[in-house]
Structure 1
Amino acid sequence: MKYGIAIFPTKAVQDEANSYRKRYDPHYALIPPHITLKEAFQVDDDDQLEELVTELKRIANETKPFKININKVSTFAPVTNTIYLKVEPIKELIELYEKMQSGKFPKNQEYAFVPHITIAQKLSHDEYSDVFGSLQMKNIQIEDEIDRFQLMYQLDNGSWTVHDSFVFGKEPV
């Protein structure tokens, strides 16, 4: 089964992202707005999954809640026509990401870590130019408190569901 690890921002941030995603992101119905900490990876046996869950509990317990800042719209162009809300790459977020790329976790990092929340993807070049041109002029100033991350798994229809949530600073069960 395919798994991934993500941070879901608060409802207010998700509502802001979804105001664009419902029009410009074909993955809108598959997963809520999120910051990816670990790209999709394959886990085929229960023992391996149990080891990863134990490791995620340990990481969450060692992590204190932190604030993120989102202050602009950016893009991955010319690599892809993806538009996103840029999350400032603070130390706590980078350290959390790095912990998910080592130890018992599969080594599947494809790109450098750019913390972001996707709001548009798979756009034609003309649509991308129009959308990015207008969104880039928006004044965005959002601060959000992050106190947990989620282990997700992918269903047969391509959508993602929460397997488990890991709250920061909480004793492992």
Structure 2
Amino acid sequence: MKYGIVIFPSKKLQDYANSFRKRYDPHIALIPPHVTLVNPFELPDEMVKEFIQKLHQVAASIKPFSLEVYKVKTFHPAVNKIYLAIKKTDEILDLHRKLNTDILANNEKTESFVPHITIGQKLSNREHSDIVGQLTMMEVSHSEIVDRFHLLYQLENDQWTTYETFHLGKECQ
């Protein structure tokens, strides 16, 4: 089964992101606005229980932290993706590293992690250039406390749903 690990922001920030996604993101129906901590990966069914225990250990080792959205940016010219940029704090980088390096032993480098919430993707070059200028000039400032992350799994219709939620700074029950 295919899994991923994300942070779902507050409803207020999700509503803000969705105000753009409904126009610029064809994936809006597949997953709510989120910060990807671990890109999609396959995990055999027999390993899920042990994996969840490891995720609880990571969650217990990280205290809740501030998530700060500070501007709209783009990954252009690599891809025509527009996103709400999130400040790279030690806490989010540490959480990303622990999940990717310590738990999954991914080859993904922590330095290349760009915490963000996608608000537009799969745009043509023309669409991208038409809207990116005005969006990147917008003033964006939002801060909230993150106290959990989520293990998701992908359904047969490509939608993602929560498998389990992990609370930061708390021991597994």
TM-score by length of 1: 0.95
TM-score by length of 2: 0.95
Where in structure 2 are the equivalents of 1:1-173 lying within 5 Å? 1-46=1-46, 48-105=47-104, 107=106, 109=108, 112-173=112-173
Q: Deviations over 1:46-102 (max 9, x none)?
A: 2x1111100110011111111111110001010000000000000000000000112
Report the alpha carbon displacement of residue 110 of structure 1 after superposing the two structures with TM: 7.8
Letter in 2 for 1:30: L
Q: Is the 8 A contact 1:2 1:154 kept in 2?
A: yes
Aligned pair count? 172
Report the alpha carbon displacement of residue 132 of structure 1 after superposing the two structures with TM: 0.6
Answer 1 or 2: which has greater helix percent: 2
Measure, in 1, the Cα distance between the counterparts of 2:96 and 2:20.
Answer: 26
Q: Is the 8 A contact 2:101 2:107 kept in 1?
A: no
Partner SS state of residue 20, structure 2 = helix
Report the alpha carbon displacement of residue 109 of structure 1 after superposing the two structures with TM: 2.8
| Structure 1 segments unaligned to the other structure (5+ residues) | none
Aligned residues: CA RMSD = 1.3
What percentage of residue pairs aligned between the two structures are identical?
A: 47
Letter in 2 for 1:61: A
Letter in 1 for 2:6: A
Letter in 2 for 1:141: S
